[in-house]
Amino acid sequence: MSINEIRSQFPILDRSVNGRPLVYLDNTATSQTPRRVVEAIDDMYFAHKANVHRGVFALSQEATDLQEASREHVRKFLNARSTAEIIFTRGTTEALNLVASSFGGSTLRDGDEIILTVMEHHANIVPWQLLQSRINFKIKVVTINERGELDLDQYRSLFTDRTRLVSVTHVSNVLGTVNPIREIVDIAHSRGVRVVVDGAQAVPHLAVDVQALDADFYAFSSHKMYGPTGIGVLYGKEQLLENMPPYQGGGEMIGKVTFEKTTFAELPFKFEAGTPDFVGIAALAQALDFIADTSYELIASHEHELLQYTTARMLEIPGMRIYGTAPDKAAVISFLVDGCHHYDVGMLLDQLGVAVRTGHHCAEPLMNYLGIEGTVRASFAVYNTLAEADAFIAALNRVVAMLR
């Protein structure tokens, strides 16, 4: 499939912003949505809307079937063993809160330790800190080298006989670094320690096989991988999920309720309290099909070309500093230009039609570690083109000339 054929599936890419053709380079925050996903949402609302797992009537059965077909799609997508291991959430954030509250809350004890990394998104830091108000455990932090890669020797040295859990991002939303998850998992498992993986920035770019990674939990959001907003997935090994208490209470997650005692539903429903976003869940299957039809091979090779080309062109600009230069890197470029404030760069780029993100990217501890307030971040998706990279570089040169 050509990039132009891919682009034609995303109507938003044809619009202009501030009188210029839109160059959308904030894909790490959220990617754009192909027509087939929006059509699936329409179809759910216009033809199949009824509450799921509740009605005996045909419409409810159809909605339920579409939701559960999507769960099977996600199972295949991650190569999970069973659909019991696929829990729908509101996003990565809710998935990580679920793990911290339910798994962390039921397994950690006062005096225990967990390991995070300095490149974590707030969604993989704050839920653990909230849990610290209930349990007095310690958070240890893996640092990075000058390329933005995790220091695995230091990681190994953090383990003690009180280490109970490692929670780590697969791909950094700031540095782009692709972390060696299998190695990280093996090191932890050899000490009997469980591993949670934040896959929010991995699934848009690379194929994930949870069995090959041997991760105990894996979380991601649909809206960053061409799917609808408001939907995420938590994968967990069945035996772990089986032993965890429910995260929220309400309809759907129960077996039998009396005022004296409530029993809980089987997996995965035990963790899906209330009416789910069955419209979004059904449409997520179309995003997975879009990725399958496009293929991760094409996504990876095209994004790699965009990354290499844009990085080289950016480095021609005097005073350019790029944060994150790992050889194994997703197409995310965080940068600062000497003498230019990151907000000014972002706002002026917008005037020229280029959408990038500025600020701390919800990774303040990483910014503190790097000794900076924030960066400008340009991030690519499979529909971006080399011509857009050129437009971005031309706009950036103009902005830098203006600010200096």
3-state secondary structure 102-155: HHHHHHCCCCCEEEEECCCCHHHCHHHHHHCCCCCCEEEEECECCCCCECHHHH
SS3 321: strand
For residue 227, which of 144, 311, 304, 283 has the smallest C-alpha distance? Answer: 283
C-beta of 205 vs 361, nearer to ligand C6P: 361
64 binds ligand C6P (CB under 6 A): no
Provide the annotated active-site residues: 362
Using CB under 6 A as the binding rule, whether residue 334 contacts ligand C6P is answered as no
Question: Which range of residues in 4-12, 270-278, 342-350, 356-364 is near ligand C6P by CB under 6 A?
Answer: 356-364
**Residue 245 per-residue DSSP state:** P
Q: Please state the closest distance from residue 91 (CB atom) to ligand C6P, in A.
A: 3
In the bound state with ligand C6P, the residue whose beta carbon lies nearer, of 93 and 102, is 93
Site string for ligand C6P, 110-139 (x = CB under 6 A): -----------x-x----------------
Q: E strands of 265-369, at which residues? A: 320-323, 332-337, 354-355, 357-359
Beta carbon of residue 123, minimum distance to ligand C6P (angstroms, whole number): 4
Please tell me the count of residues contacting ligand C6P according to CB under 6 A. 16
DSSP 178: B
Residue 356 lies near ligand C6P (rule: CB under 6 A): no
Residues in Cβ contact with 395 at an 8 Å cutoff, skipping those fewer than 6 apart: 23, 349, 352, 353, 354
User: Interface with ligand C6P includes 33 (CB under 6 A)?
Assistant: no
Other Cβ atoms closer than 10 A to 57? 9
Structure-block tokens of residue 237: 């090994």
**Smallest distance, Å, CB 264 to ligand C6P?**
25
Q: Does 270 bind ligand C6P (CB under 6 A)?
A: no
How far is 273 from 214, CA to CA, in rounded Å? 27
**Do 179 and 150 contact (CB within 8 A), yes or no?**
yes
Binding map of ligand C6P across residues 13-32, x = CB under 6 A, - = no contact:
---------------xx---
Least separation in angstroms between CB 242 and ligand C6P: 25
Nearest to 47 by CA among 58, 36, 37: 58
Burial class (CB in 10 A: 0-12, 13-18, 19+), 280: buried
Give me the DSSP letters along 257-281.
E-SS-EEEPPTTGGG--S---HHHH
- The distance of closest approach from Cβ of residue 111 to ligand C6P in the complex, given in angstroms and rounded to an integer, is 28
Among residues 101, 173, 294, 310, the one that binds ligand C6P under rule CB under 6 A: 173
Residue (197 or 299) nearer to ligand C6P, CB: 197
Among 116, 114, 182, which Cα is nearest to 143's? 116
Q: With CB under 6 A as the contact rule, which of the stretches 42-50, 61-69, 87-95, 147-155 interacts with ligand C6P?
A: 87-95
Contacting ligand C6P within 187-226 (CB under 6 A): 198, 200-201, 221
Nearer to ligand C6P, 265 or 336 (CB): 336
With CB under 6 A as the contact rule, the residue among 31, 357, 389, 396 that binds ligand C6P is 357
* Closer CB to ligand C6P, 91 or 374, in the complex: 91
362 binding ligand C6P? (CB under 6 A): yes
Give the residue among 165, 161, 121, 122 at the shortest CA–CA distance from 140.
Answer: 165
From the CB of residue 266, how many other CB atoms can be counted at a distance below 10 Å?
Answer: 9
Reported as type and span, the H/E element at residue 185 is helix 181-189
* 366 touching ligand C6P, by CB under 6 A: no
Q: For residues 302 and 357, which CB has a smaller minimum distance to ligand C6P in the complex?
A: 357
Q: Is 277 a residue that touches ligand C6P (CB under 6 A)?
A: no
Question: 93 or 286: whose CB is closer to ligand C6P?
Answer: 93
Q: Does 361 bind ligand C6P (CB under 6 A)?
A: yes
Q: Where do contacts with ligand C6P occur on this chain (CB under 6 A)?
A: 28-29, 91-93, 121, 123, 169, 173, 198, 200-201, 221, 357, 361-362
